[in-house]
Amino acid sequence: MLRIPILHADRADAFPPVERAMKDPDGLLCAGGDLSVARLLLAYRQGIFPWFNPGEPILWWSPDPRCVFDLRQFMPSRSLRRFARACAWRISADAAFDTVIDGCAAPRQADTGTWIGARMRRAYTDLHRAGHAHSIEAWAGDELVGGLYGVAIGDVFFGESMFSRQSNASKIVLHALARQLRDWGYALIDGQVRNPHLLGLGAKEIDRRDFVALLEQHCGRARPAGSWTAPWQVRDAAALAQR
């Protein structure tokens, strides 16, 4: 039986120090609490995120090591730049947040379930309406072919999930996000937990201690909350071939 701290939904409990997270399963820190905007923002600032299946209690995680994209060093592959050069897709931000979550929640290949249940959908929709969560979309005409969503705090974007309905769509939206964030002065995209897809896109693993130090350095910048639709500058995939 796992024994972890339990947060209470009816009070503003502090999260345990991330150093107390379990090693097996990697990063499990505590359970309970709620998914309010305030608690989620507090969690992300400390390197903590929620991850649980529908029907389970809320579980909070801070894995070690952490998978991140350093925007100063991010460089798409030559093959992706060649693909973008010939690609007619349009790129947008915050144009279809709910639809992007639906795409991320859809079962993948042989999978039959999803961890993005009703409570998680409501939580990130609330964050989006509060101007903290954002989606990036790739469109082939009027068809949404890929997207991602996550949470922006200071100079850090905390990626949550992405999906593709056509080959390379998730790569294109990540490239577009990285380019725009770098232009805006962001430092980091958090990919949470390593997987071959993220590592193949240029992510690297760093110690949780170093990740938390980066959050302390980069999350403090005050940026106005709100939609990214108007200030978004990356309008088409072909432009990405130049970056």
Q: What is the CATH number of the domain that holds 189?
A: 3.40.630.70
Helix/strand/coil (H, E, C) string of 32-99?
ECCCCHHHHHHHHHCCCEECCCCCCCCEEECCCCEEEEECCCCCCCHHHHHHHHCCCCEEEECCCHHH
In this structure, the dihedral spanned by the alpha carbons of residues 211, 213, 47 and 33, taken in order and rounded to 10 degrees, is: 160
Judgement on whether residues 137 and 174 belong to the same structural domain of the protein? yes
pLDDT in tens, 33-74: 999 999 999 999 999 999 999 889 999 999 999 999 999 988
How many CB atoms neighbour CB 97 within 10 A?
22
Is residue 134's pLDDT more than 70? Answer: yes
- Those residues whose C-beta lies under 8 Å from the C-beta of residue 58, and which sit 6 or more positions away, are 7, 31, 32, 33, 34, 35, 50, 52, 119
| Domain end residue (candidates: 64, 88, 112) | 64
Residue-range definition of the domain harbouring residue 113: 67-242
Judgement on whether residues 114 and 54 belong to the same structural domain of the protein? no
Number of domains into which the chain is organized: 2
Q: What is the mean pLDDT of residues 121-132?
A: 98
Judgement on whether residues 24 and 96 belong to the same structural domain of the protein? no
- Whole-model pTM? 0.95
Judgement on whether residues 226 and 127 belong to the same structural domain of the protein? yes
Whether 112 maps to a domain, the answer reads yes
Judgement on whether residues 99 and 33 belong to the same structural domain of the protein? no
Judgement on whether residues 42 and 73 belong to the same structural domain of the protein? no
Is residue 181's pLDDT more than 90? Answer: yes
Judgement on whether residues 134 and 154 belong to the same structural domain of the protein? yes
| Domain end residue (candidates: 42, 64, 86) | 64
Mean residue pLDDT of the chain comes to 93
Judgement on whether residues 52 and 139 belong to the same structural domain of the protein? no
Judgement on whether residues 133 and 46 belong to the same structural domain of the protein? no
pLDDT in tens, 190-236: 999 988 888 888 899 999 999 999 999 999 999 999 999 999 999 99
pLDDT in tens, 5-15: 999 887 777 99
Give the pLDDT score at 163: 95
Whether 1 maps to a domain, the answer reads no
| Percent residues over pLDDT 90 in the chain | 80
